Structure 1
Amino acid sequence: MSDDTIRLVTIGRILRRRWRLLAFLAVVGALVGYGTSVVFPPRYTASASVLLPGQWEERELLTQVDIATSSTVVDRAAAKLGWTDVSGAELRERVTAEAADGNIIKISGTADTPGRAQRLSDQVAQRFVAFAARIAGGSTDSEAATGPEALRKKVEETNRRITDLANAADPGRTVESVQARTALEKLRTSLEEAMTKLDEADPATDKAGMVVMGPAARPTGEAPPTRMQLTVAGALLFFLLAVIGHLVAARMDRRLRTEPEIAAALGSALLGTVDVPDDRRAHRPEDGGPWARIRRLLGIDTRWDTPTPLGSVDEADRRIRYRRVCSRLREQLPAPRRLLAVVPDGDEIARRAAEQLVAEAETDPSPSSPGRGYPMLRVVTVSVDRPTVPDRDTESGALVVLSAGRWTAEELAGITEACADGGHGVVGVVVAGPVRDRPTRSAGRPADNATPALAVRGEGTGGSA
């Protein structure tokens, strides 16, 4: 796993080098979101408001909200609507209610057309008001239900009795009859006042009389998520998943990126780093099939996590680095000999660096000179999946040339084992890196304009194996 911190520069590099892929995935996500909106038809939501007169506590309002969405109310509304294509269970999922400010219950109904949504919310609101009035006017407790009604009947019967007694009394002929009629009228008045106070004290009377505040307004737009929202959400989701996928892949990447790690994995000494002019075409695969064209079109034929090439250098500076590597290699060898320049297959930067090392070895003095000459190299490309190095013959030793950030420790260990199987010891490691090029300046020695050969001076020309 890479220990590099995920920084904004990493995200910027993803956006810069993978913008074609990200744009393609965003379009795919938009199409998926649009297809989802086609599979699931649009929904419309209408709302009706019910006013609850009187004083209500918050918990009482929440109870009324539960009653408004109860199966009893919704089933009665469904029976009244008579929709055969919607079941009662599905209809209950489409009805919601909430308590608003001012003792108002807002009932919302969702349907596939604006008209049906309006009718659903209106019908549920009406069924809720009727059911609430029934609860307030007729409790399930028989004693509580019959007590006030029985009392009213008794009062009415008493009033009729008082009327009969008043009519039976002598109408104003004696003092006693006048007093009796006056007492009876006072008794009638007292009974009426008592019943009025009883009605005012009844909490059910206070909280009855819920009213629907007009019909629900016909919806003019789709309920969320709309088709546009699904399309935009699909594009954004695919875009974010692509970016996160790149970040996770970079975080889980086990390829070695530093020279000490590479040298330790190969079990040899680092002879130095060399520069290769950056050429994006050199990173592209040579396969010209349809899949390769698609990869090239999406911009995924090259890696996005390769570091940005270092500052511009010229050819003279690069050749100095190559000569220094050859000098260190010569110092490690007891005598001039032929070596294999082992390059992992697919590492174009390393292959070009190995060819440049061959060219530098060609320009060195002969082995009989006081400088003893540079070693003679032959470039060999090996597969990292099943590496195979030629057996020891005229060459005795291997110089591994590769670029950083492309190979894991297991793959490099496989190359070392392949060299050992062929009878070659790894005498050194050279790490190649891309740089930005600039015009050549004078270097004090002529540049080698000839195309570098894969084999150098000695018996035969050799070749890649």
Structure 2
Amino acid sequence: MSDDTIRLVTIGRMFRRRRRLLAVLAVLGALVGYGASLLFPPRYTASASVLLPGAWEERELLTQAEIATSSVVVDRAAAELGWSGVDGSELRDRVSARVADGNIIEVSGTAGTPERAQRLSDQVVQQFVTFAARVAGADVDSEAAARPEALRQLVARTSRRITELADAVDPGRTVESVQTRTELAKLRTALREAVTRLDQADPAADRATMVVMGPAVRPAGEAPPTRTQLVGGGALLFLLLGVVGHLAAARMSRRPRTAAEIAAALGSTPLGTVEVPDEQPAHRPEDRGPWVRIRRLLDLDVRWDAPAPHTSGDEAGGRVRHRRVCARLRDRLPAPRRLLAVVPDGDGTARRAAGQLLAEAGGDPLLRVVEVPAHRPVVPDRDEESGVLVVLSAGRWTAEELAGLAEACADAGHEVVGAVLADPVRTRPARSAGRSRSAGRPRDAATPALAVADDTTGGGAR
């Protein structure tokens, strides 16, 4: 898993094998989201729109949106509302404005109830229109109104000067004088028409009138995030954290998975693989306690990152592979010897594999199965045995744990003869009862291995 690409089949296998843990994480996340919804009471948002007639540039519209949420407008709205314990500084966090299409500014107000949200939005809009009209009116009265008036006075003086010039011209005596008087009259008329058109096209007068496009609509639902969104978001967040945590742990895992890596960690030689039917491990009397029950309930004892067991061949082929393992083991022994088959505690698959190997060996070599804890291994001292055969599952134990197991064997005076991997497989369904009985030894032949699996006192199986 540490070097493999994460695929959808890996995610699916995680959900199948750790569904209880992931479900508990999702429920825990939903509870956290629900608790967050209690800390943050529901909010309702209402909006009202203001139309700005005339020609406006985008920067000017943005400026008007900033004015709508300014402290002057919001403070005046708070004073008009008169809500106890709510001032302008608090309302500024609840009021927002944005520029919509068509010179429209949309003002939104958020409050704890739909009625308050509607009143807040309407009041802010009203104060905004009033303040903007006052600012525009002040500009018109001061600068914008002073400039047209000065222009009118200049035009009046120019008109009088034109009249004086026309009177000074010799009336009607020459053609040039008549043409001059006519041109001066046209100039005076053009100036008056220009002043009239300027008064009609005054942009400040158009911009001073803003239109409120109706009262705010009372909101029918809560503003996001709602309680449902918080609950769903919390469940989804915790579920994703659980999935990412599983993938990260599997990616960072450095557990040996191949026979060569496991044998190298033990300082020994791989002898082969023993196929074991994949089945639910039996609960032993020592597997009790609250933590064990919690692990069992949350499927923490199930390896999710291991590939799905492959389908085994026929029983005869499995027995041939078992005999080959025993033959390799005998080849490594100079003479018939007694061996100690060491199985890490908690590895049920390896325990069943050791039982099958013990039944297949038939006393040559003579094996005694013991289980030792992997975190603090203690191997029985050397008695009649002159070697250790380690039987374990691939990808379950770390290199440090395997090295500690090898050191425990050396401290007890044992030589690690070899390592055998337990490979869980799915058994094929039996085609007939007669064929099952004639396929070889009965299944009960492996029972003595389980009977001696708990013998850690040093007594041998004779």
Query: Normalised by the shorter chain, which TM-score bucket?
Result: 0.7 to 0.9
**Per-residue displacement from partner, 1:3-47 (whole Å, max 9, x unpaired)?**
121110111111112222222322232232222222211111111
TM-superposed CA distance for 1:319, in Å, is: 2.5
Q: Which of 363, 378, 382 lines up with 1:392 in the alignment?
A: 382
**Per-residue displacement from partner, 1:110-150 (whole Å, max 9, x unpaired)?**
111111111111111111111212222224996x3673487
TM-superposed CA distance for 1:359, in Å, is: 2.0
1:452 aligns with 2:448: yes
Change (3 A) 1:444 1:300: closer
- Report if aligned partners of 2:356, 2:446 keep a CA contact under 8 Å in 1: no
How many angstroms apart in 1 are the aligned matches of 2:189 and 2:135?
31
Residue 147 (structure 1) aligns with: 146
How many angstroms apart in 2 are the aligned matches of 1:430 and 1:332?
14
TM-superposed CA distance for 1:151, in Å, is: 4.6
Structure 2 SS opposite 1:254: coil
The residue type equivalent to 2:146 in the other structure is: G
- Report if aligned partners of 1:359, 1:448 keep a CA contact under 8 Å in 2: no
Residue 102 (structure 1) aligns with: 102
**Per-residue displacement from partner, 1:149-176 (whole Å, max 9, x unpaired)?**
8759979x99xxxxxxxxxxxxxxxxxx
Residue 167 (structure 1) aligns with: none
- Report if aligned partners of 1:313, 1:436 keep a CA contact under 8 Å in 2: no
Residue 82 (structure 2) aligns with: 82
1:425 aligns with 2:415: yes
1:234 aligns with 2:251: no
**Per-residue displacement from partner, 1:325-371 (whole Å, max 9, x unpaired)?**
1111111111111111111111111112112222222x35xxxxxxx
TM-superposed CA distance for 1:225, in Å, is: 1.4
TM-superposed CA distance for 1:297, in Å, is: 3.6
TM-superposed CA distance for 1:430, in Å, is: 0.4
**Per-residue displacement from partner, 1:269-302 (whole Å, max 9, x unpaired)?**
1110001111113488952334444443433342
The residue type equivalent to 1:244 in the other structure is: V
- Report if aligned partners of 2:394, 2:422 keep a CA contact under 8 Å in 1: yes
Structure 2 spans left out of the alignment, 5+ residues:
158-187, 431-435
TM-score by length of 2: 0.82
Residue 337 (structure 1) aligns with: 337
Q: Which of 440, 459, 462 lines up with 1:462 in the alignment?
A: 459
The residue type equivalent to 2:54 in the other structure is: G
- Report if aligned partners of 2:380, 2:458 keep a CA contact under 8 Å in 1: no
Q: How does 1:106-121 map to 2 (within 5 A)?
A: 106-121=106-121
Change (3 A) 1:301 1:347: closer
How many angstroms apart in 2 are the aligned matches of 1:313 and 1:441?
17
Q: How does 1:201-220 map to 2 (within 5 A)?
A: 201-220=201-220
Q: How does 1:192-341 map to 2 (within 5 A)?
A: 196-282=196-282, 287-341=287-341
Structure 2 SS opposite 1:381: strand
TM-superposed CA distance for 1:416, in Å, is: 1.2
| Range that drifts further, 83-92 or 406-415 | 83-92
Structure 2 SS opposite 1:449: helix
The residue type equivalent to 1:15 in the other structure is: F
| Range that drifts further, 447-456 or 430-439 | 447-456
The residue type equivalent to 2:317 in the other structure is: D
TM-superposed CA distance for 1:219, in Å, is: 1.1
Change (3 A) 1:48 1:455: closer
Q: How does 1:30-109 map to 2 (within 5 A)?
A: 30-109=30-109
Change (3 A) 1:283 1:2: farther
How many angstroms apart in 2 are the aligned matches of 1:301 and 1:285?
16
Change (3 A) 1:444 1:65: closer
Structure 2 SS opposite 1:310: coil
Structure 2 SS opposite 1:271: strand
Structure 2 SS opposite 1:407: coil
How many angstroms apart in 2 are the aligned matches of 1:16 and 1:312?
22
1:408 aligns with 2:398: yes
Change (3 A) 1:191 1:111: farther
- Report if aligned partners of 1:114, 1:220 keep a CA contact under 8 Å in 2: yes
Change (3 A) 1:57 1:462: same
- Report if aligned partners of 2:388, 2:409 keep a CA contact under 8 Å in 1: yes
Structure 2 SS opposite 1:398: strand
Change (3 A) 1:33 1:60: same
- Report if aligned partners of 2:47, 2:108 keep a CA contact under 8 Å in 1: yes
Q: Percent identity over the alignment?
A: 70
TM-superposed CA distance for 1:258, in Å, is: 1.5
How many angstroms apart in 2 are the aligned matches of 1:447 and 1:63?
87
**Per-residue displacement from partner, 1:377-427 (whole Å, max 9, x unpaired)?**
211222211112222231111111111110111111111111112222211
Change (3 A) 1:206 1:146: closer
- Report if aligned partners of 1:387, 1:414 keep a CA contact under 8 Å in 2: yes
